[in-house]
Structure 1
Amino acid sequence: MLAPSARVGCRSAIAPASAHARSAQTFKAFYATIRSLRQTYEPPEPDDVEPSEKDFILSLLRANPSLRDTKSYLASFGPRPQPPKSPALRPEETPVSTEKDVAADAETKPPDIKLAPSPVVASILNPVHRRTALIKLQAPFTDRQLESIARGMVYLEKLGLVSVIVVENDQLPRGDSGERAAMLEETMRVVNALEKQGARARPVLGAVVRLGPKPEDETSTEPRDYTIPEAHTFPSDLVHIRSALRAGEIPVLAPLALDSFCRSVRVDANDVIAALVRGMAEVAALDSSPALGEDSPSLSPDEVDLTPLRLMIITREGGVPSYARQGMPHLLVNLTSEYQYIRETFDPRWKAAHPTALSNLELARTCLAFMPPTSSAVMVSHRSPSHLIGNLITNKPAFSSSLPHALLQGNRKLTPHTPTLLRRGLPIRVVRTVQELDKRKMRTLLEKSFRRELEEDAFWQRMERDLDFVIIAGDYAGAAIVTREPCPPGTPSAIGPITYLDKFAVLPKHQGDGTVDFLWVALHDETYGLGLPFSANPNGGKEGKGEGRDLVWRSRADNPVNKWYFERSTGHVRQGDWVLFWCDAEVRLKTEEGRRANAGLSYLEDWERGRLATWTDVVMKIPSSWKPKTKQIGNAS
């Protein structure tokens, strides 16, 4: 994992002018030498490769994928189900075994039978389908740093994700006479680093994108929530990239584009990457077009799916600083609802240490608009090659953003170099009346999520009476329903009324895409996290203003989601077939801690006395929302 350490000094890649001219003349010979070395390359002895192989396996183990993560990975890279083969023999030709034959087979069978390896392990280590990722290398990097980055690229290739790399160098001044030669030399350094790690790399030294937006973009009036790329490609422009991928090589590109006079000029690498993401997605759509015929295979065995599955932005600075973590990186970003707010809350003091954070944030938003909904972008430090594997297999951040802030702040593994995962995400909004809800869509969401049939009349009558608010993700892709449960007369105001999480539901197709974390963060901001500065998120709710309230909910004791609840709750207690969970209002805990100073908190505070008994008495009497069924499957009442 990441280690908290000082920033590593970076050697400038700017060479003297004479060296520029000399290196420019030797590019072709240098590349020819590399290609010839491939043919005479002798594989190292097992002892030489063992450490890197151990690193690779350890990185897989650190990723710790869940069953859902593994299924998602195999859906992208694993073998496709094959139709059953017809029997080779006709029924009348099928041989019949006699008891004598069986006995003879038993006698000649070897005593030791070697079991086949697990198909899951075999599929991860031997991916059948190769996919692509766009990589931005925000140079300059030292040779040692490039070695670490190249090792990460090799790990990804072993897992089926082939990188298309665009190199940028912030320290190369624009308009310098040796600018192009120095940029190409930086590209060759990356190629050389990849080759030293055993990868096959191909420098693409010419321009593959064209300067300016696509012609149709200038005339289109369609609303967009992303920035139009300042460059574009046509299918014929990607021939060099496709050729490299087909040959099993990693294409490495310099940030060059053709202007209107067909001159190759240096442009911002972000424009090149955005144009490539869009162009590759469009070409992949053409490859799988029904016009090719239903019986034609989508991809030949040596072909790579050009649809970009990941965008990886590798820098020296790591992720985007977060106002909620005193400058530590954001863990997971919902670009649809948080993009503008992150820009507005970006502290100018962070600019020196994170000069490209906001431009890379904009790049991620633009690229993800053209990528599949399940895709993600990650902003990661050069120190973290293992995090690239974790992101590929799990498609999740290094640490869940919905974990308690106190736990995240006290986690030594959370450092300035912790990656930021970015998803296109969904809009988040808060409604406070039943009249604002689409009852049909809400019923569909609840029934698909819990796999139960809703008792509609009773449920909506209770909502009319007790509803506090509902947090909705997207077009009812997920929802958190919170009620205000009245307490018996005489209950202290510190205990009641109870803020009760009645339903927490996410559609199956959105489970694992970040929607669960986005919903829980919004739930935190509206209940037990209310009143804290980092609860002022743009979810349409109270924006952090107000007094935090304890959040209570119940779940079946055999619910597999309980492990997730245990990690996010302050406490829990078993009540027969149920588990009662709660999250303490964080402002109250901080106030009490400040009042007691070094004395610490007692096991039971005065304001806590009697609340557990009251919660249990009230919550356990809340009627079920579901029609009778033999066995409960949902994750709350």
Structure 2
Amino acid sequence: MLHPHSLRAAPHRLVSAAQSRSAQHSFGAFYATVRGMRHRPEPDDVEPPDNDFILSLLRANPSARDARSYLASFGIRPQSRPAPQPVPIDIALPSHAQTQVPQTSAAPVQEVKPSPLISSILDPIHRRTALVKVQGPFTDRQLESIARGMVYLEKLGLVSVIIVEHDDCPKGDEHEREAVLEETTRVVQALEKQGAKARPVLGAVVRLGPKPGDEASSSYNPEAHTYPSDLIPIRSALRAGEIPVLSPMALDSFCRSVRVDANDVIAALARGMVEASSTSAGVSGPSDEVDLIPLRLMIINREGGVPSYARSGLPHLLVNLESEHDFIHNTFQRSWESTHPSALSNLSLARTCLSYMPPTSSAIMVNHRAPSSLIANLVTNKPAASSSLPHALLHGNRLTPNTPTLMRRGLGVEVIRDLANIDRSKMTALLEQSFGRTLDQEAFYARLEKDLDFVIVAGEYAGAAIVTKERGANSSSFSPVVYLDKFAVLPSHQGDGTVDFLWVALHDETYGLGLPFSVNPNGGKEGRGDGKDLVWRSRANNPINKWYFERSSGHVRMGDWVLFWCDAEMRLKVEEGRRGSAGLSYIEDWEQGRLVSWADIVPKIPSSWKK
């Protein structure tokens, strides 16, 4: 099966000079492909009514792959009626959660019928847990909105274990205990008003200090710990169908219950709940036992996601904690310390928790104005919009201060420029599994010996982008074409953010080079140098072309192929600044003949596969 994230390679047809001239003349018609996408922002402190649950799912816009991933975690109850016809497998690149709502003005909301895809996720059989930090204080209306989101998640099989924080009550205040307990009670009451059963857990369930055996210093070790017996109140509440709501309390060395930072409690629970599940593995329990291993970490606050230097302070969409955590700390601007005072501590909390949680888990940081984003995250496990989309397409309605930040454990990203440093056996396995074809290794690596520019590798060859420099006999007036030869991700890493991690790194090393927000820690040029146009091709009937259209500057059709390109962004900015208010012309002088040269070179690149 062809990997949906991979560029196809096949024998090429030569483009005649006449075709090339025609392609150049049609250049303008195909140049601009970045289009605006409608987005309906969340109104402040307003959530849909209870009868709008299905529309909340529709806003998540799950693909068939998303539904399969969800069902793998939650399953479905047997249906007495005939099962709906199976949905064809969607082999497109991940379609990210959007907030487009079907037009239903002609009928009341409650008459909206879910599609078979939505119906398949409405009746979970397995219940999973999420660790939720409610970082208040919040008004009654805000708590009502948050509680409704928790109830919606419970309907989908995700039961929240809530830890309440009170940011406005300083540590050491003489009334801090009363204030924290009161805030915990308010959360319980808000949940009950939404029809949920909730249980306040006011006593300490974690213990201060490192866990015995954790003497070796590690940035991942929580400042508190717990034992399986400490989790009895949480287990009891979950078995009774209740949402446990905890105060941030811990037992000190004198067995006194003291207030601590909620992050310490959450990190200890993330580790403790995973360890408790592993020690009880194989032990039969009640049929309604909730899986104690946290599937999600959700941080609901008043400040929103983590601000990004690359997006003028708007939130990060997706964070690869393995490779970006330290860099985000180092680039955090001083002005954000007042507007987002807990962003970095929550980022570190996510890294600690996800180090214990399953690889498929994720963490989301969202403000109280957009709790419906939690539903989209649960069903799709994706950010609100793809982080690899062009900045021009993201800014505006698709990226606002209320957009949540999704965090994944992620993978290391490395840029390799010497073919000798590539593990050929792993690279070959990656390409063959991704494309479902047999690589002509001798010819392929011989060509890379001559033409390789660089390779971006994610993790242990979970994904890779191979870029070459292609030259043509009649293109002496142009620099070598920077060509995306292969873009591949293992099937096991589809939908886990690897595609976006790779494309962002590809942007930073090619057409985004030279811009301040391309200074990323991927082992490459770290923003230094001149950007280069990036060119690639795809079969005209390739189902992932829509994904390419959204990320390219332009495209042109050439018979059975579509030629895509991304313009060097810094060059466009410099030229636009030089011209001032006059703006860019439709085709700049340096673009003349460029497409003809590409159309002459790219189709002649040989196939990488054995026939």
- Under TM normalisation by the shorter chain, which class is it? 0.7 to 0.9
Kindly state the Cα deviation for residue 456 of structure 1 after the two structures are TM-superposed. 0.5
The residue aligned with 1:505 is 488
1:63 aligns with one of 60, 66, 72: 60
Aligned to 1:487, the other structure's residue is in SS state: coil
Map 1:443-462 onto structure 2 (within 5 A).
443-462=428-447
Q: Distance in 2 between matches of 1:147 and 1:429?
A: 45
Q: CA deviation at 1:181?
A: 1.6
- Per the alignment, residue 580 of structure 2 pairs with 597
Distance 1:484 1:122, change over 3 A: same
Distance 1:118 1:398 in 2: 21
| 1:361 CA drift (Å) | 0.6
> Which of residues 270, 288, 306 in structure 2 aligns to 1:320?
306
Give the alignment's TM-score, normalised by structure 2: 0.85
Q: Does 1:337 align with 2:334?
A: no
For each residue in 1:455-484, what CA deviation from the matched residue of structure 2 results, as whole angstroms up to 9, or x when unmatched?
A: 000001000000000000001000000000
What letter is aligned with 1:366? T
1:348 is matched with which residue: 334, 341, 358?
334
2:512 to 514, 524, 529: 529
Does the CA contact (< 8 Å) of 1:2 and 1:384 recur in 2? no
Residue in 1 that maps onto 2:229: 236
Contact 2:389 2:550 in 1 (8 A): yes
Q: Aligned partners of 1:451, 1:561: CA distance in 2, in Å?
A: 16
SS of corresponding position for 2:255: coil
- Alpha-carbon distance, 1:227 to partner: 2.8
Q: Is the 8 A contact 1:2 1:418 kept in 2?
A: no
AA partner of residue 554 (structure 1)? R
CA RMSD in angstroms comes to: 2.0
Report the counterpart of residue 422 of structure 1 in structure 2. Answer: 407
| Partner secondary structure for residue 244 of structure 2 | strand
How many Å apart are 1:124 and its aligned residue? 1.4
The CA distance in 2 between the partners of 1:506 and 1:80, in whole Å, is 33
Structure 1's unaligned 5+ residue stretches are 9-49, 83-115, 629-637
Q: Counterpart of 2:71? A: 74
**CA 1:413 to 1:439, structure 2 compared with 1: closer, same or farther past 3 Å?**
closer
Q: Indicate conservation of the 8 Å contact 1:2/1:417, yes or no.
A: no
2:506 is paired with a residue of what secondary structure? helix
Given the alignment of the two structures, is residue 442 of structure 1 paired with residue 415 of structure 2, yes or no? no
1:170-209 aligned within 5 A: 170-209=167-206
Which residue of 521, 541, 546 maps to 1:563? 546
In the alignment of these two chains, the number of paired residues is 539
Q: Secondary structure at the match of 1:126?
A: coil
CA shift digits 1:518-537 (9 cap, x unpaired): 00000000000000000000
Residues of 2 paired with 1:213 and 1:414: CA distance? 40
Aligned to 2:109: none
Instruction: In structure 2, give the amino acid aligned to 1:444.
Output: A
Contact 1:332 1:423 in 2 (8 A): yes
Deviations 1:185-230 (A, max 9, x none): 1100000001111111100011111111110111x58xx5x43101
- In the other structure, the counterpart of 2:367 is 381
> Aligned-pair distance for 1:80?
8.4
* Matched letter for residue 249 of structure 2: L
5+ long unaligned stretches in structure 2: 1-38, 80-112
Shift of 1:81: 9.7
Tell me the distance in 2 between the aligned counterparts of 1:56 and 1:621. Answer: 53
Q: CA deviation at 1:489?
A: 4.2
CA contact (8 A) 1:4 1:415 kept: no
Asked whether the 8 Å contact 2:432–2:438 carries over to 1, the reply is: yes
CA distance in structure 1 between the partners assigned to 2:398 and 2:507 by the alignment:
23
Of residues 256, 281, 301 in structure 2, which corresponds to 1:263? 256
Q: Tell me if the contact between 1:201 and 1:249 (Cα under 8 Å) persists in the aligned partners.
A: yes
Q: Could you tell me which residue of structure 2 aligns to residue 97 of structure 1? A: none
Deviation at 1:623, TM superposition (A): 0.5
Change (3 A) 1:373 1:145: same
Secondary structure at the aligned position of 1:499 is classed as strand
Question: Structure 1 residues 51 and 600, CA, compared in 2 at 3 Å: closer, same or farther?
Answer: closer
Q: Which residue of 2 aligns with 1:306?
A: 292
CA distance in 1, matches of 2:149, 2:569: 39
Cα 1:2/1:359, change in 2 over 3 Å: farther
**1:381-402: CA deviations, max 9, x gaps?**
0000111111111111111110
The 5 Å alignment of 1:144-163 reads: 144-163=141-160
Match of 2:100 in 1: none
**1:82-161 → structure 2 map (5 Å cutoff):** 120-161=117-158
Under a length normalisation based on structure 1, what TM-score does the superposition of the two structures give? 0.82
Q: Which residue of 2 aligns with 1:213?
A: 210
Aligned 8 A contact 2:514 2:529 in 1: yes
- Whole-Å Cα distance in 1 between the matches of residues 402 and 202 of structure 2? 31
Return closer, same or farther for 1:574/1:417 CA change in 2, 3 Å cut-off. same
Residues 300 and 626 of structure 1: CA distance in aligned 2, closer, same or farther (over 3 Å)? farther
Decide whether aligned partners of structure 1 residues 374 and 165 sit closer, same or farther in structure 2, where only a CA change above 3 A counts.
Answer: same
Instruction: Work out whether residues 76 and 121 of structure 2, in 8 Å CA contact, stay in contact via their aligned partners in 1.
Output: no
Shift of 1:176: 2.3
Q: C-alpha displacement at 1:119, in angstroms?
A: 6.1
AA in 2 matched with 1:522: A
Rounded to whole Å, the distance in 2 between the matches of 1:146 and 1:502 is 51
SS in 2 for 1:373: coil
In 2, distance between residues paired with 1:121 and 1:189? 33
Number of the residue aligned with 2:468: 483
Amino acid in the other structure paired with 1:199: A
Q: Per-residue CA shift, 1:84-104, capped at 9, x if unaligned? A: xxxxxxxxxxxxxxxxxxxxx
- Structure 1 distance, partners of 2:77, 2:536, is 41
- Measured in 1, the distance between the counterparts of 2:359 and 2:543 equals 26
Q: Is the 8 A contact 1:318 1:381 kept in 2?
A: yes
CA distance 1:467–1:81, shift in 2 (3 Å) = farther
Structure 1 SS opposite 2:340: coil
Q: Distance in 2 between matches of 1:609 and 1:589?
A: 15
Please identify which structure carries the higher helix content: 1
Shift of 1:611: 1.1
Contact 1:154 1:199 in 2 (8 A): yes
Residue of structure 1 in register with 2:5 after alignment: none
CA distance in 2, matches of 1:614, 1:314: 52
Distance 2:287 2:43 in 1: 44
Structure 1 CA distance, aligned partners of 2:51 and 2:431? Answer: 45
For 2:221 and 2:214, the matched residues in 1 are separated by 8
* Matched residue type, 1:128: I
SS at match of 1:217: coil
Which deviations, in whole Å up to 9, do the C-alpha atoms of 1:148-172 show, x marking residues without a partner? 1111111111111110000000111
CA contact (8 A) 2:64 2:117 kept: no
1:301 Cα deviation after fit = 2.8
Partner of 1:518: 501
Q: Which residue of 2 aligns with 1:611?
A: 594
Structure 1 residue ranges (4+ consecutive) displaced by more than 4 angstroms after TM superposition: 1-6, 116-120
Distance (Å, rounded) in 1 between the aligned partners of 2:590 and 2:581: 20
CA deviation vs aligned residue, 1:404-431 (integer Å, no higher than 9, x gap): 112222x223111211000010000101
- For the residue of structure 2 that corresponds to 1:162, the secondary structure is strand
1:54-86 residue CA offsets vs partner (Å, 9 max, x unmatched)? 43222111111112111111111123899xxxx
Residue 635 (structure 1) aligns with: none
Does structure 2 retain, via aligned residues, the 8 Å contact 1:525–1:537? yes
Report percent identity of matched pairs: 72
Find the aligned partners of 1:56 and 1:191 in 2 and give their Cα distance. 21
Q: CA deviation at 1:5?
A: 8.4
Higher alpha-carbon Rg: 1
C-alpha contact 1:4 1:416 (8 A) present in aligned 2: no
User: What SS class does the counterpart of residue 393 from structure 1 fall into?
Assistant: helix
